[in-house]
Structures are given as C-alpha cells and as structure tokens.
Amino acid sequence: MDETASYPPIEPSNFDLIVVGTGLPEAILAAAASAAGKSVLHLDPNPSYGSHYASLPLQEFTSYIESQSSDSSPISRPDTDSGYTRVGIATRPMYSSVEITSYSAEPLEQSRKFNIDLSGPRVLMCADAMIDLILKSEVNQYMEFKGIDGSFISDGEGNLENVPDSRSAIFKDRKLSFTEKNQLMRFFKLVQGHLEAAAGGGGGEQSSESRSISEQDLESPFSEFLSKMGLSPKLKSIVLYAIAMADYDQENRDVGKSVLKTKDGINRLALYHSSVGRFPNAPGAMIYPIYGQGELPQAFCRRAAVKGCIYVLRMPVNSLLMDKASGSCKGVCLASEQELFSHKLILAPSFAVQSPFPHSSPDTRDFRLRNTTEKLARSICISKHSLKLDVANCLIFFPPRSLFPEQVAAIHVLQLSSNVAVCPSGMFLTYLSAICEDDDQGKKLLHAAINVLFQAPVSGSSANNNSAENQSETGDARPALLWSVLYTQELAKQFQDVLDNIICTPMPDGSPYYHDLLGATEKIFQELYSGEEFFPKSTSSEEGAGQELED
C-alpha cells in the first residue's frame, strides 16, 4: 500500500459526485456526469480499470477472481471530530466455486498476451443503443472493433449449424429444407411488416393493419406465437435461443422462469435484424472491441477525464462519512486517511456497507444488494484450435434440453481469436455462460457443454461424465483444452438506493450484449440528475486540446 501513501492529497475535497469502482456502469456514469458539468472524483482500489467489467491478463484474471471470492471485513475507524460517523466498507464475494484446471503451461507463460473479459461472453450488437452511446459520447475515437464471423447453434452432440439469421443466410443455408426456408422467410417478412406498420402508423391511416401482429398475440408467449406462425421445432429453437437469445426454456412452461412475450421477442428480432448490415464490413450482426470488452470502461473513463473527472486508482475507500443527525452520507474516507465530501455516491456492486443505525430495520439499512435466486455460471477455455474450421470469432448457442433433458437454461458461448488481440496468436479463447439456481447446477451445465466442445488431454476430468460417449473416438475433431476456469458469479440485478444518496451499480448480466445493462445505467443517471441530458451533444470537436489554455 506504499503506492497510495505516495500520492499527493486529492484536491479539491468537495465533489458533486464520488464514484467508487471503474466497471462499465460506473465509467459511463462518471463520463455522463462530467459531460453534464458535474465535478466528479472516480476511485478504484485496483491498479487497473474495469472492476467486474475488466479485461485482464491471465494471471491477473485468476488473482482477481480469487480475491473477489472471499469476504473482507470492514476496518473500524474512530469517528472524526467533524461530526460524522464513520461506517466501514467491506467487499462482499461476487464469485464462488472457482475451479481452475491447467493442462498446459503455455497459456500462463504468455499471460500478458491475454485480455480476458470478466463479463464474457459478450459482444456488441451493431444496432444496439450501446453503439449509439459510443458514438454520441465520442469514445469510439479510443476504440477499434472487429466483426464476429457468425453464429452457430449446437445440437448437443458436437454439430454446429449456421444460424440462418438473415435473408442471405437463409438462402445459403444447406441444412434447412425448402419448406423450412419458406417458413422462416415468411416469418421474417411478417415481423418486418409489423415493425414498419408500427413505425409508420402512429395515429394515421391503418391500411397496413393486416400486416400487424395483433395486440393479443403480442402479449402471448413468443414460443406459442412461433408455433402459430407454423415454424418447425427446429426453426423455433433457432429464433428463440440463437436470435432472440432467450435465457430459459420457453416451451416447457412448468419451468416457469421468465417467459419471453411476443412483443419482446419481436423487439429482439428487430434489434438483430437492424444490426445485420449496419456496418458494411461487419460480416454479421455483432462486433467485438479489439483488446477486449475492458476497453469500454477505460474509454468512458478517459472521456470523463477529458471532461474534468479526477482519477485515482489503487485507492481503497475505507469508510463512508455519515451525518449523525440526518443519517445521510456526506462523503468518504480513503485508505490514505483523507476525507472527501460529496452528497452523491455511486458504489460498485461488490461493496457492502455495514448498518450504522441499529435502531432501524436491518433490511433497509444494510443496503447490500439482495441476492437474487439466480446466479451466472461462467467458464473460460483456452485451446489451440478453433471450434469451427476456418472460423475465428463466433457465437454458439446450446438451446435448453440440447445437452440433457433437465437442462432448463440456454448456454451462450463466444469464441475469440488472436485477431481481436485477446490471446496469443495460435490460441483461441472461449467463453461460456448460463443462468443457474446454484453453483452445482451451473457447473453441471457448463461441464456438459465443455465436454461437447472440447477434449481434455488427460483423464483429469473426473467430474465430467456426462457425455463420455464421444470421448474415445479416434479422429476426435474437438480441440484439446490447454486451460480452463469455471466459476459462479452473483447476479445483483436490481440496484437499491436505500440510503437515498448512495447508489449501487449492477453486475454484468447474463445477456450476450449490453442492451439491458445500459438501460439500468441510464436509469441511475436519471435518478441522480433528473432532467439532465444523458450525454449532451458535444460542442467541441475532437481537437479539444488546449481549449482551456486559450482563455
């Protein structure tokens, strides 16, 4: 901690907003508040940017995951003379059941050539609001992107089939029958007609009504609507899990988990379809940032810095300063013992504040995020060969029940290659994730998928007995695993602002893109600064340097 000690004191000591943690929601909020003219201090106890949204070298990745898997108790501090109660901050574990298997020393030897996403598998949909925000906030000038080559759907037995996600993909598809091609083409047309009607007919002529989907259908489960439209089970599966990217089994209603309504399914389809072809040289609907998703929080932090936000990494916050009379938070006390003041505070989700007021109900005062019943099982696999011949970067979907009958959640898989600078050349990085109820269920799911996709070079995979049938085949086309990790991540979906001037940001969600996360982040901004514009259009050009010097 001698590095923190060597910092000069932070000046000034009063801010409009103090943000702790540099994950993507925190970074966007810091940049948005700075762009709105607020004075912002942005702190992070870590030596690098990104918190739970970082991209890290292999070694740093494992130590981060492990460091965030255990509780830390808050350091109790004496109260100050300034009339504030100091309330300790602890970190709560966000990851559990971390299981690392190293079959080869090679990946670790090149640790720094990896940029491993903590929030993977994740891509950017070309037409997503996230891309619009990247452009509006001008962080695109700090980043570069590459296209994802394609999407595949697994039959659970090792076959990866193309996802026919556009007119040309349907046309070129070799696995679909003529009837199926027709069905899917008709369905896409119907959706397009509906969207055009919805966009065109605000209150005017309703001539296109026949092309709209009825209100009743829009409220019905998407899977039922797909059946009604005559889609075969195979096509339904493709639309539900590889295009609308539903998390849960949509057809087994007993599962009772989130059922996708037709209107939401249609919106996801619309996002997907308007993503295809938005950028002429992107081969599909999705792109990926070179050097990893962790570039995003860094780019937003730089944007914030350009607008005046002060950055201090390696600076833990030890306690909050609470007003004795009102009980509201007035600021923070740093590891350096410096006290800094702000009426608004944003905390990354891994921080927990101990209840300072024994007289109030613990439920409301202890504003740790309530653990939802859902968790996210995640895995990262390193191999030397691609899962699909001649494909560098791709998404793969395992629909529910494709691996075993009790599989209720879909598994999202993203393979990346060295051409997006996330691993050494000649290696491939594969992310897997699935929503689960507990660690064991999550592990079982991901192990089953990993066994279908990879072969473990030694018999060290004692836990993997789900699909041993194709293990011994000669000429096994599955790439051999060099290194893998499995772990479970807490899903703190809903932020709570029980102490009304402290807000917690969300953890990375289970979606393969940013739509919901950005929505939640924008909502936090509106709560903080209602009426202020979320990133007003910048007046200065990119050649902003020196403007301050001219006055």
Partner 1 sequence: MPSRRRTLLKVIILGDSGVGKTSLMNQYVNKKFSNQYKATIGADFLTKEVQFEDRLFTLQIWDTAGQERFQSLGVAFYRGADCCVLVYDVNSMKSFENLNNWREEFLIQASPSDPENFPFVVLGNKVDVDGGNSRVVSEKKARAWCASKGNIPYFETSAKEGTNVEEAFQCIAKNALKSGEEEEIYLPDTIDVAASSQQRTGGCEC
Q: Which of residues 156-175 bind partner 1 (CB under 8 A)?
A: 166-168, 170
Among 24, 87, 195, 340, binds partner 1 (CB under 8 A): 195
Provide, rounded to whole angstroms, the least separation between the CB of residue 522 and partner 1.
Answer: 18
Among 144, 209, 323, 473, binds partner 1 (CB under 8 A): 144
Encoded amino acid at 133, one letter: L
C-alpha span between 256 and 405 (Å, rounded): 16
CB 364 within 8 A of CB 35: no
Q: Which residues contact 43 (CB under 8 A, 6 or more apart)?
A: 18, 19, 20, 21, 312, 313, 315, 317, 332, 334
- The region of 89-97, 304-312, 453-461, 517-525 touching partner 1 under the rule CB under 8 A is 304-312
Residues in contact with partner 1, shown as a per-residue x/- string from 92 to 121 under the rule CB under 8 A = --------------------x---------
**If binding is defined by CB under 8 A, does position 238 make contact with partner 1?**
no
Among 45, 88, 121, 147, binds partner 1 (CB under 8 A): 147
Task: With residue 383 as reference, give the H or E element that holds it.
Answer: strand 375-383
**If binding is defined by CB under 8 A, does position 340 make contact with partner 1?**
no
**If binding is defined by CB under 8 A, does position 515 make contact with partner 1?**
no
Identify which of residues 170 and 352 has a Cβ nearer to partner 1 in the complex.
Answer: 170
Residues in contact with partner 1, shown as a per-residue x/- string from 197 to 236 under the rule CB under 8 A = -xx-------------------------------------
**If binding is defined by CB under 8 A, does position 540 make contact with partner 1?**
yes
CB 286 within 8 A of CB 395: yes
Nearest to 97 by CA among 488, 453, 441, 468: 488
Among 78, 202, 203, 280, binds partner 1 (CB under 8 A): 280
Q: Which residues contact 519 (CB under 8 A, 6 or more apart)?
A: 129
C-alpha span between 382 and 550 (Å, rounded): 52
Provide, rounded to whole angstroms, the least separation between the CB of residue 37 and partner 1.
Answer: 12
Provide, rounded to whole angstroms, the least separation between the CB of residue 415 and partner 1.
Answer: 16
Identify which of residues 90 and 270 has a Cβ nearer to partner 1 in the complex.
Answer: 270
- Tokens 């938005």, residue? 278
Among 125, 348, 421, 434, binds partner 1 (CB under 8 A): 421
Identify which of residues 170 and 377 has a Cβ nearer to partner 1 in the complex.
Answer: 170
Please name the residue ranges forming H helices in 245-359: 262-275, 295-306
Would you say the C-alpha torsion 267, 268, 271, 273 has a positive or negative sign?
A: negative
Among 108, 255, 270, 480, binds partner 1 (CB under 8 A): 270
C-alpha span between 551 and 549 (Å, rounded): 6
Span 435-494, contacts to partner 1 by CB under 8 A = none
Provide, rounded to whole angstroms, the least separation between the CB of residue 342 and partner 1.
Answer: 17
- The region of 196-204, 238-246, 250-258, 465-473 touching partner 1 under the rule CB under 8 A is 196-204
Among 281, 361, 373, 539, binds partner 1 (CB under 8 A): 281
Residues in contact with partner 1, shown as a per-residue x/- string from 379 to 418 under the rule CB under 8 A = ---------------------------------------x
Span 121-140, contacts to partner 1 by CB under 8 A = 127, 131, 134-135, 140
What is the secondary structure of 335-353 as a DSSP string? TTS-EEEES-EEE-TTEEE
DSSP state of 37: T
- The region of 215-223, 226-234, 308-316, 317-325 touching partner 1 under the rule CB under 8 A is 308-316
CB 116 within 8 A of CB 61: yes
Provide, rounded to whole angstroms, the least separation between the CB of residue 277 and partner 1.
Answer: 5
Nearest to 511 by CA among 247, 163, 266, 223: 247
Residues recorded for the chain: 551
CB 420 within 8 A of CB 260: no
Number of residues that bind partner 1 (CB under 8 A): 75
**If binding is defined by CB under 8 A, does position 191 make contact with partner 1?**
yes
C-alpha span between 148 and 411 (Å, rounded): 18
CB 292 within 8 A of CB 114: no
**If binding is defined by CB under 8 A, does position 2 make contact with partner 1?**
no
**If binding is defined by CB under 8 A, does position 278 make contact with partner 1?**
yes
- Tokens 């990119």, residue? 542
Identify which of residues 112 and 228 has a Cβ nearer to partner 1 in the complex.
Answer: 112
| C-alpha dist (Å) from residue 213 to 140, 185, 228, 259 | 37, 16, 12, 19
Q: Which residues contact 288 (CB under 8 A, 6 or more apart)?
A: 123, 124, 145, 146, 147, 148, 393, 416, 420
Nearest to 393 by CA among 317, 500, 283, 477: 283
**If binding is defined by CB under 8 A, does position 305 make contact with partner 1?**
yes
Identify which of residues 188 and 222 has a Cβ nearer to partner 1 in the complex.
Answer: 188
Identify which of residues 93 and 193 has a Cβ nearer to partner 1 in the complex.
Answer: 193
**If binding is defined by CB under 8 A, does position 52 make contact with partner 1?**
no
DSSP state of 444: H
**How buried is residue 482: exposed, middle or buried, by Cβ count under 10 Å (0-12/13-18/19+)?**
buried
**If binding is defined by CB under 8 A, does position 526 make contact with partner 1?**
no
Encoded amino acid at 402, one letter: S
**If binding is defined by CB under 8 A, does position 546 make contact with partner 1?**
yes
Residues in contact with partner 1, shown as a per-residue x/- string from 282 to 301 under the rule CB under 8 A = x----x--xx---x--xx-x
**If binding is defined by CB under 8 A, does position 277 make contact with partner 1?**
yes
**If binding is defined by CB under 8 A, does position 267 make contact with partner 1?**
no
C-alpha span between 393 and 63 (Å, rounded): 27
Identify which of residues 188 and 351 has a Cβ nearer to partner 1 in the complex.
Answer: 188
